[in-house]
């Protein structure tokens, strides 16, 4: 009987200490993985073209990088008043993009530096997309076809202040 009491006084606290250590080891390994390294790149896209955002892949458990998202320039909307035309408003130019994830999900966004209620920068899925410019800048002539625009898009995983 005394042996059982002594065993319980020694074994139970020892067992509790081992369990606490195992719990602490498990909690330490389930911490949030480190944030990916700062990343900024500029992509030049034409309407319908895509770019893989390779270095911006988000890190998951055990430091394994997720598949990189793809950004696509869906459409250019140029409603600016054509050269040599008479217009009641100046119009604007905007760019519609799609952000495609490897799991099949997509999010759409529009960037413009002069569209009413528009924005030249937006954040999606941990990335910041900023309109860095477009070519050609000049407005096409009245009867001229729309040019093949080249849009520069700055992508960063650093959120602006």
Number of domains in the chain: 2
> Is 148 found in the same domain as 70?
yes
For 25-34, 62-71, 94-103, which range has the lowest pLDDT when averaged over its residues? 25-34
- Is residue 8 very low, low, confident or very high in pLDDT (cuts 50, 70, 90)? low
> Is 49 found in the same domain as 26?
no
Q: How far apart are CA 57 and CA 127, in angstroms?
A: 10
Residue 25 confidence (pLDDT) = 67
> Is 84 found in the same domain as 11?
no
If you search the block for the tokens 């999010």, which residue do you land on?
107
Residue 135 inside a domain? The answer is yes
Q: Tell whether the model's pLDDT for residue 160 goes beyond 60.
A: no
Higher pLDDT, 26 or 84: 84
Q: How far apart are CA 122 and CA 159, in angstroms?
A: 10
pLDDT in tens, 13-42: 766 777 777 776 665 555 666 666 788 899
Residue 20 confidence (pLDDT) = 72
Who contacts 93 (Cβ-Cβ below 8 Å, separation ≥6)? 76, 77, 78, 79, 80, 112, 114, 115, 134
Stated pTM of the model: 0.69
Taking Cα atoms as reference points, which of 114, 123, 109, 110 lies closest to residue 156?
123
């Amino acid at each position: 009987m005394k042996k059982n009491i002594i065993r319980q006084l020694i074994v139970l606290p020892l067992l509790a200490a081992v369990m606490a250590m195992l719990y602490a080891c498990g909690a330490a390994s389930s911490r949030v993985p480190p944030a990916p390294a700062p990343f900024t790149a500029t992509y030049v896209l034409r309407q319908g073209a895509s770019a893989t955002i390779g270095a911006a892949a988000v890190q998951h458990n055990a430091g394994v990088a997720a598949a990189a998202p793809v950004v696509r320039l869906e459409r250019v909307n140029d409603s600016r008043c054509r050269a040599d035309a008479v217009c009641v408003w100046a119009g604007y130019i905007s760019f519609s993009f799609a952000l495609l994830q490897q799991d099949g999900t997509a999010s759409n966004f529009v960037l413009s530096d002069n569209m009413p209620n528009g924005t030249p920068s937006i954040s999606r899925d941990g990335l910041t997309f900023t309109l860095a410019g477009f070519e050609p800048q000049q407005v096409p002539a009245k009867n001229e076809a729309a040019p093949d625009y080249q849009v520069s898009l700055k992508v960063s995983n650093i959120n602006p202040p």
